[in-house]
Structure 1
Amino acid sequence: MKESVLVIGSGHRHFREYALRGLAEAFRLVLIGPAPLDWQLPYVADHRTADVEDAAAVHAAAADLAAEHPVTGVVTWDESLVTHTAEVAARLGVPAMPVAAAQACRDKARQRERFRAAGVPSARFALAASEAEAVRAAESLVFPVVLKPRGRAASIGVRIVHSETELRETFAQVQEVENPSIEDGLVLVEEFLSGPEIAVDSWVLDGRVEPFSIAAKRTDYPPYFEEVAHVAGRVLDPATEARVREVVIAANRALGTDRTITHTELILTSDGPKVVEVNGRLGGDLIPRLAELAVPGLSVGRVLGTVATGRVPEPIAAPEGVVGIRFLYPATDLAFTRLELPSALADEPWVHEVRTVTETGTELCLPPRGFLGRAGYAIATGDDIAVIDARLLKLAEAAAVHGEPLPS
């Protein structure tokens, strides 16, 4: 019989079904989610419904499931549930991500402190409780600086500021979008790192860190850092890739991550790769799915379940090509009705998939009024990163997002 793995939270179908499916192919899944199961049903042997943001409710549901199913691994790919998941595993006596490592993955300031102590290349930083403190920190770091919520993901609320005036105009906005898990009101003020952005997914087990997916990140809507595209596969030259791997391994070891897949974000500065943050779960925005498309036979869900249950995964081959995703946004804030892409373009052999991910009537707002206001996405394949970038831009320019304009 397959081993039982407890999954806490399943996420959005369009962005996480591939992971749940891959996990279910190798393991018997029991799941805790906030609502009765729907699309998850084919993959799950048993489940409990609970408020996943309520630690006590999650612990009770986990204990109930574990009483009926001997659980040998506990996983999540939901950013907000990383700490809950580590705590559940500890209560069940199942080896998993250490709670302290999970807490560090949820607090970017705590990460910075550990990186500094371990000598991991990262940004200089300070914490600020007020505009005045933030101004003093920025003057010490030298403008431009980055203001950042400590507990958010997907670059939500992250803002580059070039002057004291911009900082004072922005500080309260960054505080307001902070994750409720960060209660002290302190905002992270960071040195601005200049260079290409990349993201690395790695499996970690008993101190071993194995990067298996490297993706280039594309952002837009300055001065914000909205993530609009990713390109995975062979995106770095061998020398840069080797250095990136060294830094990623050092960053994960500094945090003590274990028995999971982590998502490490870096900037390729003129002084070498520097870590932006480590997330204690697999990458979002379908980055791991891009890795699967670039490496035939790779199942990220299977890899996650394997390390979660304490075993070393099978070797993962190098990517054969390059695969990219572009998220499709409206030209202005609107209540979504439909997404259109010219059929001649959608039928191109290099277009792997075009998908709408937004319900009719959903309000899609662009930064700073809203973040992640995506109507859908398109995935393209190609031989190199320059070709992929051009194809993704073509798809974005041709896509038409329709809806009812929202009042300004």
Structure 2
Amino acid sequence: MSASEGVLLVMGSGHQQFREYLLRAAAEHSRLWLFDPEEPSWQRRYVTGATALDVFDPAAAVRAARDLVGDGVTISGVYCYHEAVIAAAAHVAADLGLPGPTPDAVRTVRDKALTRARLTQAGLAQPRYAVVGPADDVATAAAGIGFPLVAKPRTLGASQGVVKVNGAGEVGWALGVSRSATQLGMVNPEEVLLEEYLNGPEISIDAAVLDGEYLPYLLARKRIGGEPYFEETGHTIDAADPLLADDDLIDMLGAAHRAVGWRTGMTHTEVKLTPTGPVLVEINGRLGGDLIPYVGQLANGIDSGRVAADVALGVRPKLDPGRESATAIRFLCPPVSCVATAVELPPPDPGSGLYESTVLTGPGSTLLMPPDGYIARYGYLIARADTVERCQAVLDEAERQVVFRYDPLPSGQR
């Protein structure tokens, strides 16, 4: 893309530690203009210009985009990987006539109840579910689904407020957990989704969708801990994972995207591999979090940031793997809510397979585990090897070398 063709508008830069690689990739692809809540700091090296505004407000974002165009800046595409900002990004793209998911498609995937309704209409495999508000007969709804079940907020992300419910006596507590969860830039309505608990491992699939064509290219197998919560503690990626060539799975995913009206844009879809077959958990209208695209690029050579930039411009991305290896990331979490007093990780050693070792927080930091808080991680480890089994062995050995000391927090101080 030449300078005369304008800028790629980035909506929300996100957390530097977990999203800078996507901003860097987009900057290598196009000239960037950033819309973000604050003036740029670390982002400045990647952008041509920036506008500070409430990026969570679609109307404010549309006004700012119109003002930018009025100042003579050509916007060629809208690039967004921030869950709480994808609605505003869709409105901007629609207002400017640019490629991207429609606001209705984003609203459908952001609201898990709407996703369930559309998938039901399409006859696709998904959990039994009910949407319950404060005035509804929750006991009857839960009994109709059966235990165990899952309670989750309708419109939050990152598994915040999602909890397993083992019996009728836990329903009220679980609803309280779901309703009290908060996430920046998102509204959590009082209505809660109750869903059948699905047995089996969980996978995620990152894909480009262009003009209705579903193009999956990255599959990760998820590691979950901390029951009854659903904290994502790691992901394993095999560039040659046979599920990426499973026609039944890919056909189901394509049909699910058509059902929610998603015709152009990036998605991160989560699926449970149950004893009776794959069942769709949710579709997210963005690239995967948890560094999944970064770890995926180490495995298959596909740069998700460049893929997303192409799709934002309406260009078919190149999805041919540049390599075939295995990678895995493991997040390090405290056993309880605490204040960290010491954090030491083994150094990276690519020769042994430990590709990266990163401390996320240091002594004195407060780490809140569910339900007090979410995504309380003091570090992560990344392995890269020929096989997923070797990756896990490398991570197991590295985790044994981790030093983490802490002072537990009394319940009244959380």
Question: Under TM normalisation by the shorter chain, which class is it?
Answer: over 0.9
> CA–CA distance in 1 between the matches of 2:305 and 2:245?
28
What SS does structure 1 have at the residue aligned with 2:246? helix
Q: Deviation of residue 395 (structure 1)?
A: 3.0
> CA–CA distance in 2 between the matches of 1:177 and 1:218?
22
Q: Deviation of residue 181 (structure 1)?
A: 4.5
Q: Deviation of residue 71 (structure 1)?
A: 0.9
Q: Deviation of residue 346 (structure 1)?
A: 5.4
Structure 1 residue 102 and structure 2 residue 106: aligned? yes
Q: For residues 258-407 of structure 1, what are the structure 2 equivalents within 5 Å?
A: 258-296=263-301, 298-317=302-321, 320-336=324-340, 338-343=342-347, 349-358=352-361, 361-407=364-410
Q: More deviation in 203-212 or 137-146?
A: 137-146
Q: Is the alpha carbon distance of 1:318 and 1:107 closer, same or farther for their aligned partners in structure 2, counting shifts above 3 Å?
A: farther
Residues 147-182 of structure 1: per-residue CA shift (max 9 Å, x gap): 111111111111111110011222112111156755
TM-score by length of 1: 0.93
Q: Do the aligned partners of 2:237 and 2:327 also contact (CA within 8 Å) in 1?
A: yes
Residues 163-204 of structure 1: per-residue CA shift (max 9 Å, x gap): 100112221121111567556411000011111100000000
Count matched residues: 406
**Letter of the structure 2 residue corresponding to residue 211 of structure 1:** P
> CA–CA distance in 2 between the matches of 1:236 and 1:253?
24
Q: Deviation of residue 64 (structure 1)?
A: 2.6
**Letter of the structure 1 residue corresponding to residue 298 of structure 2:** L
Q: Do the aligned partners of 1:356 and 1:377 also contact (CA within 8 Å) in 2?
A: yes
What residue ranges of structure 1 are gaps of 5+ in the alignment?
none
What SS does structure 1 have at the residue aligned with 2:19? helix
**Letter of the structure 2 residue corresponding to residue 90 of structure 1:** A
Structure 1 residue 37 and structure 2 residue 35: aligned? no
Q: Is the alpha carbon distance of 1:295 and 1:260 closer, same or farther for their aligned partners in structure 2, counting shifts above 3 Å?
A: same
Instruction: Please provide the CA RMSD for this pair.
Output: 2.2
Q: Deviation of residue 34 (structure 1)?
A: 1.3
Q: For residues 136-147 of structure 1, what are the structure 2 equivalents within 5 Å?
A: 136-147=140-151
**Letter of the structure 2 residue corresponding to residue 175 of structure 1:** R
Structure 1 residue 208 and structure 2 residue 208: aligned? no
Select which of 149, 152, 156 maps to 2:160. Answer: 156
Match for residue 223 of structure 1? 228
Match for residue 171 of structure 2? 167
Q: Do the aligned partners of 1:351 and 1:378 also contact (CA within 8 Å) in 2?
A: yes
Residues 229-259 of structure 1: per-residue CA shift (max 9 Å, x gap): 0011247435973332222212112112233
Match for residue 202 of structure 2? 197
Residues 321-345 of structure 1: per-residue CA shift (max 9 Å, x gap): 11111111224322345520245x7
**Letter of the structure 1 residue corresponding to residue 275 of structure 2:** S
Q: Is the alpha carbon distance of 1:157 and 1:184 closer, same or farther for their aligned partners in structure 2, counting shifts above 3 Å?
A: closer
> CA–CA distance in 2 between the matches of 1:273 and 1:72?
38
Select which of 49, 61, 67 maps to 1:58. Answer: 61
Q: Is the alpha carbon distance of 1:52 and 1:239 closer, same or farther for their aligned partners in structure 2, counting shifts above 3 Å?
A: closer
Q: Deviation of residue 358 (structure 1)?
A: 3.1
> CA–CA distance in 1 between the matches of 2:47 and 2:392?
37
> CA–CA distance in 2 between the matches of 1:283 and 1:241?
21
Q: Deviation of residue 38 (structure 1)?
A: 1.4
What SS does structure 1 have at the residue aligned with 2:390? helix
> CA–CA distance in 2 between the matches of 1:146 and 1:396?
30
> CA–CA distance in 1 between the matches of 2:341 and 2:96?
46
Residues 385-406 of structure 1: per-residue CA shift (max 9 Å, x gap): 2332333333334322345543
> CA–CA distance in 1 between the matches of 2:182 and 2:109?
15
What SS does structure 1 have at the residue aligned with 2:137? helix
> CA–CA distance in 2 between the matches of 1:80 and 1:290?
23
Residues 99-121 of structure 1: per-residue CA shift (max 9 Å, x gap): 00000111111001111111222
Q: More deviation in 325-334 or 198-207?
A: 325-334
Q: Do the aligned partners of 1:247 and 1:274 also contact (CA within 8 Å) in 2?
A: no
Q: Do the aligned partners of 2:208 and 2:311 also contact (CA within 8 Å) in 1?
A: yes
Select which of 240, 246, 249 maps to 1:241. Answer: 246
> CA–CA distance in 2 between the matches of 1:252 and 1:401?
43
What SS does structure 1 have at the residue aligned with 2:150? strand
> CA–CA distance in 2 between the matches of 1:50 and 1:239?
40
**Letter of the structure 1 residue corresponding to residue 108 of structure 2:** A
Q: Deviation of residue 209 (structure 1)?
A: 0.7
**Letter of the structure 1 residue corresponding to residue 201 of structure 2:** P
Q: Is the alpha carbon distance of 1:69 and 1:352 closer, same or farther for their aligned partners in structure 2, counting shifts above 3 Å?
A: same
Segments ≥4 residues shifted beyond 6 Å: none
Q: More deviation in 371-380 or 49-58?
A: 49-58
Q: Is the alpha carbon distance of 1:365 and 1:183 closer, same or farther for their aligned partners in structure 2, counting shifts above 3 Å?
A: closer
Select which of 13, 18, 24 maps to 1:21. Answer: 24
> CA–CA distance in 1 between the matches of 2:206 and 2:241?
15
Q: Is the alpha carbon distance of 1:184 and 1:371 closer, same or farther for their aligned partners in structure 2, counting shifts above 3 Å?
A: closer
Q: Deviation of residue 138 (structure 1)?
A: 1.6
Q: Do the aligned partners of 2:145 and 2:195 also contact (CA within 8 Å) in 1?
A: yes
